[in-house]
Amino acid sequence: MVVRYGDTTAVDGVSLTVPRGRVLSLLGHNGAGKTSLLQVCEGFRRADGGTARVLGLDPMDDHDALMPRLGIMLQSGGVYPWATAGEILRLFASFAATPLDVDMLLDRLGLRKFERTRWRRLSGGEQQRLSLAVALVGRPELVFLDEPTAGMDTEARHTTWRLIEELRADGVSVLLTTHLLDEAERLADEVVIMRSGVVAATGSPAELTAAAGIDLLEVRADPGLVPDGRLADLKVTEPTPGEYAIAGALDAAVISDVLGWFAAKDAQVTAVNTRRRTLEDVYLALTTGEKSKVSR
């Protein structure tokens, strides 16, 4: 897919597929092209190149047939400022053939006490929760969530995460955008990291971090050992006496070699610790321009 705004290319040849009943997370900074991609999938604009098929339909040409099957949570706004939370949710429920129980949804999202509160009096996080409820009330088979937890407090965020996990368990497919690493790591079956309109990496959170390999080997042993030619390919430091930090291409053979070197030095090794890269390390490496090998 390609999406352009004038001379700016917001989405530059991205291909992705959301498998049924799975959660795919689009991860990237603001301006990475996440929302533009969603806009096309939601039928609000046409792609300037490529195609989007949503549940086998064209999001623009088949708008009327598609919308009842989708749950869409927009990034912000989108509600009558003078309508109450209850009125808004009931309006969208009334559009659906077999909607969810509105009261249940209000309870689940902690919105019961705001049922008679007008939209404009709700806080940002409360508005987000109501938007999520509106997206879900029609019992959709596919939901698009554009930064669903932006502006939510920690508790609401966890409530939302549990809800998204439940959606997945019930067979709903989810495409969500986020710039929160922990959100993607916790929820996503597959993460697509976008940077400047292109896919920087894709994979499950585990694959993305595993592909990046082990970052650091920490060894506690006798202090003052001086590395020699046998460890020439690695960067060995001793930040505190007796605590060695070894960085480099650390596969199993190299690690065993490193431990062999300590043994050859007659050093008493009392602790060995490997530190793997987190999704955050991968993400930062990819999105701040550093060359990385994690793409599959």
- Positions in the binding site for other proteins (CB under 8 A): 42-45, 63-64, 67-70, 72, 74, 76-83, 87, 91-92, 94-98, 100, 104, 134, 136, 138-141, 166-167, 169-172
In the complex, least distance from residue 41 CB atom to other proteins, rounded to whole angstroms: 11
Backbone angles phi, psi at 232, to 5 degrees: -60, -30
Q: How far is the CB of 206 from other proteins (least distance, A)?
A: 25
Query: Of the two residues 43 and 148, which places its CB atom closer to other proteins in the complex?
Result: 43
State the minimum distance, in angstroms, from the CB of residue 51 to other proteins.
20
CA distance 99 to 140: 9
Q: How far is the CB of 21 from other proteins (least distance, A)?
A: 9
Tell me the angle at which helices 124-136 and 154-169 cross, rounded to the nearest 10 degrees.
Answer: 10
Question: Smallest gap, in angstroms, from Cβ of residue 166 to other proteins?
Answer: 6
Based on the number of CB atoms within 10 Å of its own CB, is 30 exposed (0-12), middle (13-18) or buried (19 or more)?
exposed
Nearest approach, Cβ of 144 to other proteins (angstroms)?
9
What's the CA gap between 135 and 117, in Å, rounded?
19
- Residue 26 beta carbon to other proteins: minimum distance, rounded to whole angstroms: 18
Query: Which is nearer to other proteins, 68 or 124 (by Cβ)?
Result: 68
Tokens 């690690």 appear where? 255
Q: In this complex, which beta carbon is closest to other proteins, that of residue 72 or of residue 181?
A: 72
The residue among 104 and 253 lying less far from other proteins, judged by its C-beta, is: 104
* Pairwise CA distance, residues 242 & 269, whole Å: 10
Phi then psi for residue 165, to 5 deg, are -65, -35
Contact 73, 178 (CB under 8 A): no
Closer to other proteins by CB, 5 or 80: give it: 80
Which of 72, 294 has the CB closer to other proteins? Answer: 72
Given a contact cutoff of 8 angstroms between Cβ atoms, the answer to whether 286 and 294 are in contact is yes
DSSP states along 140-197: -SEEEEESTTTT--HHHHHHHHHHHHHHHHTT-EEEEEES-HHHHHHH-SEEEEEETT
The radius of gyration of the chain's CA atoms, rounded to the nearest angstrom, is: 24
Nearer to other proteins, 169 or 232 (CB): 169
